[in-house]
Amino acid sequence: MKAIVTAQALIIMPGIVMRLTDEDARDRKHCMEPLGDGLYRATLENHFKKGHVVEFEGEIPKQYTSSCEPVSDDGRVLPPASDGVARLAHFPTPETATAVAGADSKESQPRIDLDGMTKAQLLECAEQHQLRVDSNWNKHQLVTALKKKLRAEAAA
């Protein structure tokens, strides 16, 4: 499925299969493994900038739905699917976590691995938890602020 990047950057993680143009394939030959028929598998983390049109093999993976919007072959943004299924963002917030049955108990709260995230993922997580941070902060500062915010949310 084709999608346009709406976040500052779309970070493709290793293992994701995508269809690339010849130009994109040439620019990313160091981090994408050719599979044939225009398909490539990411072997290293790589980035696509805001406004870039990417094509995933199959549906847009859940972890990327907050960073891009589906588009038609002629480039028009497609309306969201109206199949009646509620969807959660990549990083659960207190508001979205309560939409899941049983999510109000301590045992079922999703655990977020902040230390394993990239800086871009930490900034996105901070935004989703409505935490104001400076984009110039380093990873340690972001992790510290997010841990403090998440502890406060858990205590509330």
pLDDT digits (tens, 9 = 90+) for 31-43: 999 999 899 999 9
Are 98 and 140 in a shared domain?
yes
List Cβ<8 Å contacts ≥24 apart for 77-82.
77/4
Are 20 and 57 in a shared domain?
yes
Does the structure show a pLDDT above 80 at 125?
yes
Is 29 inside a domain boundary? yes
Is 87 inside a domain boundary? no
Is 85 inside a domain boundary? no
According to the model, what pLDDT value does residue 43 have? Answer: 93
Is 86 inside a domain boundary? no
Are 10 and 47 in a shared domain?
yes
Is 89 inside a domain boundary? no
Are 58 and 106 in a shared domain?
no
Task: Say how far apart CA 121 and CA 141 lie, in whole Å.
Answer: 14
Is 84 inside a domain boundary? no
According to the model, what pLDDT value does residue 101 have? Answer: 47
Q: Rounded to two decimals, what is the model's pTM?
A: 0.49
Are 53 and 16 in a shared domain?
yes
Are 7 and 62 in a shared domain?
yes
According to the model, what pLDDT value does residue 150 have? Answer: 86
Going by C-alpha positions, the residue among 7, 14, 12 that lies closest to residue 49 is 7
10 Å Cβ neighbour count for 85? Answer: 6
Boundaries of domain holding 56: 2-70
Are 11 and 63 in a shared domain?
yes
Classify residue 119 by burial, with Cβ atoms within 10 Å: 0-12, 13-18, 19+.
Answer: middle
Are 148 and 104 in a shared domain?
yes
Residues 6 or more apart from 89 whose CB is under 8 A from it?
A: 65, 66, 96, 128
According to the model, what pLDDT value does residue 100 have? Answer: 47
According to the model, what pLDDT value does residue 110 have? Answer: 59
Provide the percentage of residues in the chain whose pLDDT is more than 90: 24
Provide the percentage of residues in the chain whose pLDDT is more than 70: 78
Is 99 inside a domain boundary? yes
Are 108 and 48 in a shared domain?
no
The structural domain count of the chain equals 2
Are 7 and 64 in a shared domain?
yes
Give the mean pLDDT of 101-123.
67
Residues 6 or more apart from 130 whose CB is under 8 A from it?
A: 93
Comparison of pLDDT for 87 and 12, the residue scoring more:
12
Alpha helices in 28-138 (DSSP H): 94-97, 119-128
According to the model, what pLDDT value does residue 19 have? Answer: 92
Where among 70, 104, 128 does a domain terminate? 70
Comparison of pLDDT for 91 and 118, the residue scoring more:
118
Residue-wise burial string across 90-105, b where 16 or more C-beta atoms lie within 10 A, e elsewhere? ebbeeebeeeeeeeee
Is 41 inside a domain boundary? yes
